[in-house]
Amino acid sequence: MKRIYLDHNATTPVHPEVKAAMLPYYEDLFGNASSVHSYGREAREAIDVAREQVAELIGASSPTEIIFTSGGTESDNHAIKGTALSKADKKGNHIIISPIEHHAVENTCEYLEKRGFEVTHLQVDKYGIIDLQNLEDAIKDTTILISVMHANNEVGTIQPLAEVGKIAKERGILLHTDAVQSVGKIPLNVDELGVDLLSLSAHKIYGPKGIGALYIRKGTRIDSLLHGGHHERNRRAGTENVPGIVGLGKASEIAKKEMEANREHLWSLTEKLRAGIQEEIEFVRQNGHPEQRLPNTLNFSFEFVEGEALILSLDMQGICVSTGSACTSGSLEPSHVLAAIGLPPEIAHGSVRISLGRDNTEEEINYVLETLPSVVNRLRAMSPLYADRMKKRKEGKL
Amino acid sequence: MKSEFQSQYSTKVMEHFMNPQNVGQIEDPSGVGDVGNPTCGDIMRLFIKVEDGVITDAKFMTFGCGAAIATSSMVTEMVKGKTVEEALEISNRTVTEALGGLPKVKMHCSVLSEQALKSAINDYYERQDKPSPVNIPEDEHEQCDLYDSDEEE
């Protein structure tokens, strides 16, 4: 059976050109970038090129502002813990985050909270957008860091980050953004956004897993998490993952080059899908902002059905998507993002995230639109909630 | 036991999920069990028909994940043809075993199926004004966590 992959916010396939660029660094060019000899120089040069490619993608003024990490989670940890630790001897101990952050930010802040830091969670509206006045009000003399993700991984909503940047700058507070989902998908410039720290990851942009980067604006005080050798200008010890770094660099270069074409392609496919779903299926609601969203991301709640049952059923039809339902995790509580945008738990349990990628076609979207209604109907036919609702409708109560 | 280490659904679970048996309602049931709540993401409604002390038919409607649907299907299959007393012997463990195990995080679904069955049998006794031998722990599911995941089987 043909499989249709619609879970690109989870991960993406490695771009063939990225893979081709990486392979020599597993073979002939295997050197350690710290070595003085020619093998080392070849590796060092490759890292330098990649650093420029990443800097170019996000508009960093110098490649020295980029450090390579093991991925988005490490970048988030480094940005937040590194900032917190660098201020530990000062009066500042207050961090402000949005309530829809990735767990890499959320749980890092929770960790710091247990160690004496104070964390404020902002509010978001029904689309997941933060309230700037709420942010201004949350700032204290002790605030050392604001961390607001650029675009949300689950619902795709894009934050007014440039406005946050202005506020942070006026108040002299560092701004970090987890831009793992937005980098490479939408235009992004660290100066225009006014961010001091930015996390990104390769495997969301057709690069390899296990490699990412943290942008650190020149002059930003931040402690290191990993201590050891003098790698990454003493900011991140450990022998560089050269093939991974080369892959991230190449993926960044391609993302920049293909961004406009991909955006248009993805927007038109997602709009077709959105319109089709809303036309074909009853009791469905779109989660996240309908316009201020990533071009590839849609999130829907299908009422009266549970998300895991829905994605399992779709998987049997070759369609691969994900859910914010609790039933895919051990927690039994639905996604904190869906809770933060005010979805009642029973609606959140029926959520499905559909995230497209550059290789998806209109034909695939047509197949989804042909398949999805019957999958939803099958589950609704055995749902007591749906039966109750239909009974009420029949009785003319609704 | 196998299920302690399982993270994926067994073939049997997938079979029952994709082709659940006994979906629907019984028009004139002898007992109905309605357990779970939408906040926790699963509700089971189990109908039984009892004739001369024997469960002759069982049907279910479930809002829930793959495991919830599969355990509902399995428990309705297991009770048919059993006497009410025999049906009371069915536990979450026997349902799970019949399904070839469940991932650990899904064990609460099997508890829900046991509860749905006991609740339906309880309803059967109540409808006949007979004292019910069934003991259903009340409101435990309100906490969305019937199964203590730290507890080894």
Q: Is residue A227 located within the same domain as residue A130? A: yes
Q: Is residue A170 located within the same domain as residue A296? A: no
Query: Using a CB-CB distance cutoff of 8 angstroms, which residues of chain B are in contact with residue A383?
Result: 61-63
Domain tally, chain A: 2
> pLDDT (tens digit, 9 = 90+) per residue, A117-153?
999 999 999 999 999 999 999 999 999 999 999 999 9
Q: Which residues of A are designated catalytic?
A: 327
Q: Is residue A125 located within the same domain as residue A53? A: yes
Query: Using a CB-CB distance cutoff of 8 angstroms, which residues of chain A are in contact with residue B29?
Result: none
As a whole number of Å, the end-to-end CA separation of chain B is 8
Residue-level pLDDT at A331: 57
Q: Range of A267's domain?
A: 4-9+259-394
CB contact under 8 A, A306 and B68: yes
In this predicted complex, what is the ipTM? 0.88
Q: Is residue A102 located within the same domain as residue A35? A: yes
Q: Is residue A235 located within the same domain as residue A198? A: yes
Among candidate residues B26, B90, B109, B116, the one labeled active-site is B109
Residue A65 in contact with residue A222, Cβ under 8 Å? no
Residues near B96 by Cβ (< 8 Å), separated by ≥ 6? B3, B71, B102, B107, B110
| Cβ atoms within 10 Å, residue B100 | 16
CA distance linking residue A150 with residue A178, whole number of Å: 6
Residue-level pLDDT at A293: 98
Query: Of A239, A255, A271, which residue sits at a domain end?
Result: A255
Residue-level pLDDT at A388: 94
Instruction: Give the domain CATH number at A91.
Output: 3.40.640.10
How far CA B11 is from CA of A24, B68, B90, in Å, comes to 42, 15, 22
Q: Is residue A242 located within the same domain as residue A377? A: no
CA distance linking residue A361 with residue A94, whole number of Å: 46
Residue-level pLDDT at B141: 47
CA atoms lying within 13 Å on the CB side of residue A260: 1
Instruction: Give the domain CATH number at A384.
Output: 3.90.1150.10
Region A26-53: mean pLDDT is 97
Query: Is pLDDT of A207 > 60?
Result: yes
Name residue A72's amino acid.
Answer: G
Q: With residue A144 as reference, give the H or E element that holds it.
A: strand A143-147
Residue-level pLDDT at A178: 98
Residue A362 in contact with residue A356, Cβ under 8 Å? no
Bridge partners of A367? none
CA distance linking residue B55 with residue A395, whole number of Å: 32
> Least CA distance to B144: which residue of chain A?
A332
Query: Using a CB-CB distance cutoff of 8 angstroms, which residues of chain A are in contact with residue B32?
Result: none
> Least CA distance to A308: which residue of chain B?
B65
Q: Is residue A44 located within the same domain as residue A172? A: yes
Query: Of A231, A255, A279, which residue sits at a domain end?
Result: A255
Query: Is pLDDT of A37 > 90?
Result: yes
CB pairs under 8 A between A and B: 82
Q: Is residue A96 located within the same domain as residue A195? A: yes
Residue-level pLDDT at B8: 87
Give domain limits for chain B: 10-150
Region A96-106: mean pLDDT is 97
Query: Of A202, A231, A255, which residue sits at a domain end?
Result: A255
Strands A319-320 and B42-51: unpaired
Query: Is pLDDT of A314 > 50?
Result: yes
Query: Using a CB-CB distance cutoff of 8 angstroms, which residues of chain B are in contact with residue A327?
Result: 41-42, 64-68, 106
How far CA B47 is from CA of A40, A146, A375, B83, in Å, comes to 72, 54, 24, 15
Q: Which of A46, A22, A47, A7 is nearest to A251 (CA)?
A: A22
Q: What average pLDDT is seen over chain A? A: 95
Q: Is residue A245 located within the same domain as residue A285? A: no
Question: Under CATH, what is the fold of the domain B10-150?
Answer: Sufe protein. Chain: A (3.90.1010)
Region A249-263: mean pLDDT is 98
> Least CA distance to A384: which residue of chain B?
B61
Q: Is residue A246 located within the same domain as residue A302? A: no
Q: Is residue A246 located within the same domain as residue A112? A: yes
Name residue A315's amino acid.
Answer: D
Interface of B with A (CB under 8 A): 9, 14, 17-18, 20, 23-25, 34, 38-45, 60-69, 104-106, 108, 144-145, 149
CA distance linking residue A271 with residue A290, whole number of Å: 10
Query: Is pLDDT of B149 > 50?
Result: no
Nearest 10 degrees: Cα torsion A184, A188, A191, A192? 180
CA distance linking residue A396 with residue A70, whole number of Å: 58
Query: Is pLDDT of A165 > 60?
Result: yes
Phi, psi of A348, rounded to the nearest 5 degrees: -65, -35
Query: Is pLDDT of B6 > 70?
Result: no
User: Which of B63, B106, B108 is opposite residue A384, by nearest beta carbon?
Assistant: B63
Q: Is residue A23 located within the same domain as residue A98? A: yes
